[in-house]
Amino acid sequence: MTEYVLLPSGVRAIDARLLSAGILDLTMETAGRAVADYLELHFKAELDGARPVLLLAGSGANGGDALVAARHLHALGRAVEVLASPSKHPPTRLNRRRLNACGVGVRLLSPTNLKRALDRAGVVVDGLLGTGFTPPLRPGVAELVKLVNASGLNVLSIDLPSGLDAASAELPEAVIYAHHTLTLGGSKPALIFGPAAHAAGVVTVASLRIPQAWIAGAAVAHRPSDAEIAALLPVRYADTHKGTAGRVWVLGGHPGTVGAAALAGLGALRAGAGLVTIYSEADVPLVTPELMAHKVVLSELDAKPKPGAVAVGMGLGPGAEAAARMVLGWRIPTVIDADALQPGLAGAGHPQVIWTPHPGEAARLLGTESSTITREPLSAARALQEHFGGVVVLKGGPSTVASDQGLFVARGGHPGMAKAGLGDTLSGVLAALLGQGLSAHDAANVGVRLHARAGELAGEVHGYGLIASDVSAQLGAAWLALKETGK
């Protein structure tokens, strides 16, 4: 099932529909029960101990979720202690009365009471702040956050760790560092993109049992499942041959940076392209005998019969913009990467083009700072697609795909992939998928996940210090692994 990504505005839109339908309170009941069930599943050792679950309830809806969770835990025979802030939120006030009626007392959430409760607790549930919060924390709440972090106890945050801005990848100075986060209805940018995501621990999305169309309509982005990606993988039949499996050109390499083109070519081969030819104005090393490499003047390619797909820019150097402009004029499936990513090409994209900037290149293309790109990668990817046309893959951990069909956030990857050459490999993978007949939108979504899955598998073999050829070598295994998820 597709996972949705929600901004605070999207959460507000869903809440408005729930209120209009008269089921906002029922949804809080579902959320709170999900928190209790999660604790039973993942914190059984702590719950079986003598120490109570400490639930911290803020004044908003997150606080209400915590109160519902406390009632369900109490009904299951678990020891609970609840500290809550005064609230004017009607469903939260209602669930406080319900909790009291079940015989569970609630004490005021204050630094003094929290210090004492932390000494007694076995695990903490953070229901202080939700998606409506914008940093910075008020001093009093910041003191509560500091006490929780200093306790050394395991923390489960409801929806997102208190102190985070749900819409931003920035990590505020004061934020709860959760071991687990149970986010509600859909993920949030702060739980996906670093460094904010570093505070979230293990993130799980809880279903709110409301119409999926309501969540989809309010979502800013989608996260395709591996099964959805598997369904898009090209199918190769028994009568397929090298000429029908995709002819790919790689235009790249310059004295001192010839390896980039070679790595792109290797990625294209390993992603299934039938014939891969590297054209460069420098001597490109033959990293595998299955690659073909030719030293040419790139402008001469304008007169040659064209391939099924082309990747341009990897290590290409000063002539990259001119080469990219030439290739874009061919109107064939194209990947624009690295040196070919130039502001002067704005508006030159067409439906079969994939642009693949990393944050530094994206900042150059949009005339801004890298920090702006990394703070709000979804907005940056959308802006790039609007400026340049076609499809954009904003590379990162994770990568974001922007197309006319919306925004899509990739899954997976491995920290060891933060290494030179991995972007060149991805360009080759994308070109191979284009050459095998996928649309630019599908090739982008399949390519980033296939590349990330190969990185995961390479990480299992090599550990932390991956190199690009390690990842290329795992593309076939990654393909098979994704296929298995689609069965």
pTM above 0.85, yes or no: yes
Give the position of tokens 């911290």.
56
Question: Regarding beta strands 106-108 and 53-57, do their DSSP bridges make them parallel or antiparallel, or are they unpaired?
Answer: unpaired
pLDDT at residue 323, rounded to an integer:
97
**Among the listed residues 115, 435, 82, the one whose alpha carbon sits nearest the alpha carbon of residue 275:** 435
- Mean pLDDT in residue range 342-365: 97
CB atoms within 10 A of CB 415: 11
Q: Decide if pLDDT at 270 tops 80.
A: yes
Proportion of the chain above pLDDT 70, given as a percent: 100
- Segment 354-376 shows an average pLDDT of 97
* pLDDT tier for residue 487 given thresholds of 50, 70 and 90: low
Spatial separation of the C-alpha atoms in residues 315 and 312, rounded to whole Å: 9
Q: Residue 242 — very low, low, confident or very high, per pLDDT cuts 50/70/90?
A: confident
Per-residue pLDDT averaged across 120-145, rounded?
Answer: 96
Please list the alpha-helical segments (H only) found in 43-187. 44-48, 61-75, 90-101, 111-120, 139-150
pLDDT at 292: 92
pLDDT tens digits for range 195-219: 999 999 999 999 999 999 999 999 9
* Whole-number Cα distances in Å, 1 to 37, 63, 152, 250: 21, 29, 35, 35
**Average pLDDT, whole number, for the chain?**
95
pLDDT confidence of residue 14: 97
Please check the confidence at residue 79 and state whether its pLDDT lies above 80. yes
